[in-house]
Amino acid sequence: MHSRFFAALAACAVVALAACSGSAPNLAPSTSSTGPKGAVDPDLYVANLHGNTVTVYGPDSDVPKQTITEGISGPTQLAFDSSGNLYVANRGGNTVTVYAPGGSSVLRTISQDVTAPGALAFDASGNLYVANAGCESASCKPRIFSNVTAYAAGTSNLMRTITEKISDPYALAFDASNNLYVANHFHTGDVAVYAPGNDQPVRLVKDGITYPKSLALDNATQLYVGNTSGRITVYSNGGETLLRTITQGVNEPNAIALDASENLYSANFGFKTVTVYAPGHTDVLRTISDGVQLPISLAINNAGDLYVGNAWTEDTVTAYAAGTSTLKRTIHQGIKFPVSLAFGP
């Protein structure tokens, strides 16, 4: 029931040590980042799918310091570029809207060939990539026009459209060599890998993949895939070889994330928990349950504190002290189905 409704929203503006999280109808993975480089105490940004807002919270604040509404319609993914500009994928508006650091007015709107956008990612040159779900109406097959579109850095100019082996893309990620990874959810799914600038995949990762919806890459360019079936699969450099499969404590992982020490976090929608795994291990290191309801998004700040977006029963964002299961605070105000979390200026 939930595999179609929650996508690990996003990957994401993902590079090494990033995260992707889950969301609603074919929404893609949310960014779980530590904010722009150099930020000491970045603000928390929350995409509220049911509120048509992005709310911003200062460090340790439970009250929004800013609410962004201009240009926001069904927000599914948040991402920051290297200059601290905020990008919002709007599934309801078929747009990606861009905001200057700290701003709430639309700086730029990207709409050419954007259709039900979910995941966002930036390559090494700052070019934006958008995962588009495509048509979902009764008059066409679901996701029949799904693709990945790329836009020149800092502009709304469409560079190219990738369609080959793209089918219902839920998550995007770039590795250290600027290879693009796309999690395709349609049928049983796969992860397609594209070399820099190429529109044809150099490989399809299928071993162990079943309805993938979140991606993450560590510093060794090992690929982590959250699968709806209830497992996280890990692959060697380039995604060629299945290294291990994590099932203990995993249930509908709507989001996965890696912290600075490369501990793995899994948001388990079915178990109402977040489980933590030490690097290279498949057994649960720690289980976080206090305040966790139906987790759909994750983010980790510069201090290593974990933030969890919870939906359905009571929409909240809960925060946990670094390396512990201790609940630090719960954010209620302004939260309405928090499909994507990110840290920024």
Handedness of CA 252, 255, 261, 262 (dihedral sign): positive
**pLDDT at residue 144, rounded to an integer:** 55
8 A C-beta contact, residue 304 and residue 268: no
CA–CA distances in Å: residue 257 to residues 30, 73, 107, 135, 161? 10, 26, 30, 29, 28
Token digits of residue 284: 């649960």
Residue 276's beta-bridge partner residues? 265, 286
Integer Cα distance of 126 and 47 in angstroms: 22
Integer Cα distance of 46 and 37 in angstroms: 19
- Cα 326 from chain centre: 24
Tell me the domains of the chain and their CATH numbers: 2-344 (2.130.10.10)
**pLDDT at residue 53, rounded to an integer:** 98
**pLDDT at residue 12, rounded to an integer:** 36
| Ordered DSSP codes for 107-147 | SEEE-TT--SEEEEEE-TT--EEEEE----STTS-TTTT-E
CA–CA distances in Å: residue 252 to residues 230, 287, 294? 5, 15, 10
**pLDDT at residue 141, rounded to an integer:** 53
**pLDDT at residue 314, rounded to an integer:** 84
SS3 content of the chain, % helix, strand, coil (to 5): 0, 40, 55
**pLDDT at residue 140, rounded to an integer:** 54
The structure's pTM equals: 0.90
Integer Cα distance of 317 and 210 in angstroms: 28
Phi and psi, residue 3, nearest 5°: -65, -35
8 A C-beta contact, residue 307 and residue 318: yes
Q: Which helix (H) or strand (E) holds 234?
A: strand 231-235
Shortest CA distance to 22 belongs to which of 265, 305, 192? Answer: 265
From first to last of its 345 residues, the chain has per-residue pLDDT tens of 333 333 333 333 333 333 443 333 344 444 444 444 444 679 999 999 999 999 999 998 999 999 999 999 999 999 999 999 999 999 999 999 999 999 999 999 999 999 999 999 999 999 999 999 876 555 555 545 799 999 999 999 999 999 999 999 999 999 999 999 999 987 779 999 999 999 999 999 999 999 999 999 999 889 999 999 899 999 998 788 999 999 999 999 999 999 999 999 999 998 999 999 999 999 999 999 999 999 999 999 999 999 999 997 789 999 999 999 999 999 999 999 999 999 998
**pLDDT at residue 239, rounded to an integer:** 80
Q: Which helix (H) or strand (E) holds 5?
A: helix 2-5
| Ordered DSSP codes for 284-297 | -SEEE-TT-SSEEE
Residue 150's beta-bridge partner residues? 129, 160
**pLDDT at residue 18, rounded to an integer:** 38
